[in-house]
A = this chain, B = another copy of it.
């Protein structure tokens, strides 16, 4: 696939917005992206609409995108609803790239929109529980007071600690770093810095994950405009993109092979990335994924975290947006929100959390789980390479 470009990106703030509909969120993000790109709505030839939980949260299924856009700038646009669990909108981005690279249109839009907050708080956990094989006998053994994914992330964290010697303080330091980033991001759901001590003292969710290490339930939308032609101002190229599905019990190998495919396209190495947005649905996952991506060697990520090197001004800036735990994780919107952050970083407009002279950025987004036994395997992994050109 030829190189495609990002002409603009925009998002809503993430949070809990009881009075804003999915349509309201989606159109706010779309309008922001169109404005940022300087593109007219009528020039958008394809819309990939990522949404994962609406069929459970509100009951609206099948045509979420068409309904959300019906009274907005993109009414009537060629629209496909994409569901790939928490990787729905990185999958949507992948389709938007294909749409322009195929010559089917010159400008395409990827939007992720999710409204998870609901007066009935069990609905969000119920919805997340559909992103695994619901017929898996392991499911019924799981407690239902939390998302089943926190059980999986906790299992992964314990394994990482056992294999690398990472202390729980490293997980707390990692969470503290991304909460610090989130405190600097006006669009973050949580905008409070937290010390490692506070994080360790917060309520235990599943050993060793405390509340402040876990991504919250929330609402939000993020949109990205993709073009075939190089934009005349501030162009950002998508030089590599891979989307892969998990095979039974392959565990983190899924991340490694997806990253390898994307990085080979770009001719780059993960270790050279200036800034990385990755899928830290729980804080320890950031460390695991950094190693799976090949950005650092095995057992090294937690040491970098302890040294503060994952900060925006450190050697390996990670989740400068605040990541899933601080910026928030309205699941279908997360993939495009990662891209919004990286566009801001590459364009040098990330304010107080700006990475100095960012040229090469990497996004990793994951979704669902096809197998649950340790190590669990995600259903989907997307890795995208962005470069300032």
Contact = CB atoms under 8 A, between A and B. Distances in A.
Contacts of A242: 78
Contacts of A250: 76
A98 B132 CA distance: 28
Given A63-B379, A70-B247, 9 more contacts: A1-B104, A55-B61, A56-B61, A63-B368, A65-B245, A76-B247, A78-B244, A95-B98, A101-B103
Contacts of A52: 61-62
Which of A66, A70, A99 lies at the interface centre, i.e. has the most chain B CB atoms within 10 A of its CB? A66
Interface residues on A, range: 35 or more
B134 A58 contact: yes
Interface of A: 1-2, 52-53, 55-56, 58-67, 69-71, 75-85, 88, 91, 94-95, 97-99, 101-104, 127, 130-135, 242-248, 250, 367-368, 370, 379-380
- Copies of this chain present: 2
B66 A380 contact: yes
A2 B101 CA distance: 11
Contacts of A77: 245
The 3 closest A-B pairs by CB, nearest first: A101-B102, A61-B130, A102-B102
Contacts of A84: 62-63, 79-81
Contact of A66 (B62, B66, B88, B368): B368
A329 B85 CA distance: 26
